[in-house]
Amino acid sequence: MKGIHHITVSNATVKYEFDIKRNITIIKGDSATGKTTLVEMIGEYYESGISSGITLVCDKQCRVLAGRDWSTLLPAIKDSIVFIDEDNDFLPTREFAEAVRESDNYYVIVTREGLVNLPYSVEEIYGIRSSGKYAGLKQTYHEFYHIYGDHVPNESFIPDTVIVEDSNSGFDFFNGLSENKDYSVISAGGKSNIFKESFIRKDSNVVIIADGAAFGAEMDRVMKLVSGRKNIVLFLPESFEWLILNSDLLQSGEVSDILKSPSDHIESREYFSWERFFTHLLIEKTQDTYLKYAKRKLNDAYLNDAAAKKIIKTIPDIELM
């Protein structure tokens, strides 16, 4: 599945309206905010249709996955938007993550815990809030809102340390920039180590750079560290490859069009996370050029002064050059 799918579900007393943009959407929040009610309404409509008193409008089938037989039921669900409530024990398992990866569905998951086996985006973590009565009727209108906002500086920020998620080309790039500069660059060796490396250095000026397209499970504890601290900046582009593509270094109209609406181009069954798509796209578009890209080791052409400045220009208010 790909594309953005608009969903409206309502009964006589409540109405939910929202868009689903990626293969994994997370709904968080406290009790009594309407999360479970949403899932229950989806399930009731699937089972009983309009006789349930519920109206559901979407261009894809919406249904609920639950219970111990989930692994038997899921393979039969195709090209659908699957809602899952937080009381299902299978959610954090590797078996479930593998089943999601192999399917062509979108998933809307209610959970208060980070699901470390699923590569979900920080941009697709939502709460549900009531925004009053709908159209003057006795019907409460619910909408999604982003749990995590930006945590970038409002003015020029000079780091002591830059922490990069991995040790591949992204690290090579930022480490190369740091030569003869007054800051150091370290690799966290994976997103699960970002918190530890940041905590160790929490009293110095730190920039954290990680792939936002798959960093969702780490956000809660990292934001608890970052919130209220002006000396820690969290920069989460979709991925390092996206950063290059977004810099217009390639000067490709096709790439620019894709970046305007990635959902229309990213097939969920082929790409478990958007990070993988952007890596594939960059490799494909630079093949047989001087900018030929490889994930494991950075092509020195990207550290050329002109190229590096183009890439860095897309990073807000962080002094790296």
Q: Domain range for residue 214?
A: 161-312
The whole-number pLDDT of residue 145 equals 87
**The token pair that represents 64 in the structure block:** 């609920």
The whole-number pLDDT of residue 135 equals 46
Instruction: Clarify whether residues 108 and 177 are in a common domain.
Output: no
The three-class DSSP label of residue 25 is strand
Cα 102 to Cα 1, 32, 54, 112, 179: the distances in Å are 12, 33, 31, 24, 42
The label of the residue with tokens 């999601």 reads 100
The whole-number pLDDT of residue 142 equals 82
The whole-number pLDDT of residue 263 equals 98
The strand pair at 5-10 and 55-57 is best described as antiparallel
Instruction: Residue 86: give its domain's CATH number.
Output: 3.40.50
Of 146, 178, 210, the domain-final residue? 146
For residue 317, being part of any structural domain is answered with no
| AA letter at 202 | K
Instruction: Clarify whether residues 141 and 254 are in a common domain.
Output: no
Instruction: Clarify whether residues 103 and 223 are in a common domain.
Output: no
The model's pLDDT over 205-234, given as tens digits with 9 standing for 90+, comes to 999 999 999 999 999 999 999 988 889 999
Number of domains in the chain: 2
Instruction: Clarify whether residues 208 and 257 are in a common domain.
Output: yes
The whole-number pLDDT of residue 150 equals 64
The label of the residue with tokens 């159209």 reads 135
Instruction: Clarify whether residues 176 and 280 are in a common domain.
Output: yes
Contact 28, 112 (CB under 8 A): yes
For residue 154, being part of any structural domain is answered with no
The whole-number pLDDT of residue 138 equals 58
**The token pair that represents 62 in the structure block:** 């919406």
Instruction: Clarify whether residues 293 and 168 are in a common domain.
Output: yes
Instruction: Clarify whether residues 205 and 280 are in a common domain.
Output: yes
The whole-number pLDDT of residue 179 equals 93
For residue 96, being part of any structural domain is answered with yes
The whole-number pLDDT of residue 108 equals 98
The whole-number pLDDT of residue 136 equals 47
Q: In what order do the strands lie in the sheet with 161-164?
A: 184-187, 161-164, 206-209, 232-235
Cα 223 to Cα 149, 166, 233: the distances in Å are 10, 19, 10
Instruction: Clarify whether residues 291 and 255 are in a common domain.
Output: yes
For residue 152, being part of any structural domain is answered with no
The whole-number pLDDT of residue 152 equals 73
Name which of 55, 62, 48 is nearest 13 in CA terms: 55
The three-class DSSP label of residue 233 is strand
Torsions phi, psi for 282 (to 5 deg): -65, -45
Q: Which residues of the chain have pLDDT under 70?
A: 132-139, 149-150
* Overall pTM > 0.85: yes
Cα 138 to Cα 13, 134, 229: the distances in Å are 6, 7, 43
Instruction: Clarify whether residues 182 and 113 are in a common domain.
Output: no
The model's pLDDT over 238-291, given as tens digits with 9 standing for 90+, comes to 999 999 999 989 999 999 999 999 999 999 999 999 999 999 999 999 999 999
Instruction: Clarify whether residues 253 and 188 are in a common domain.
Output: yes
3-state secondary structure 58-112: CCCEEEECCCCCHHHHHHHCCCEEEEECCCCCCCCCHHHHHHHHHCCCEEEEECC
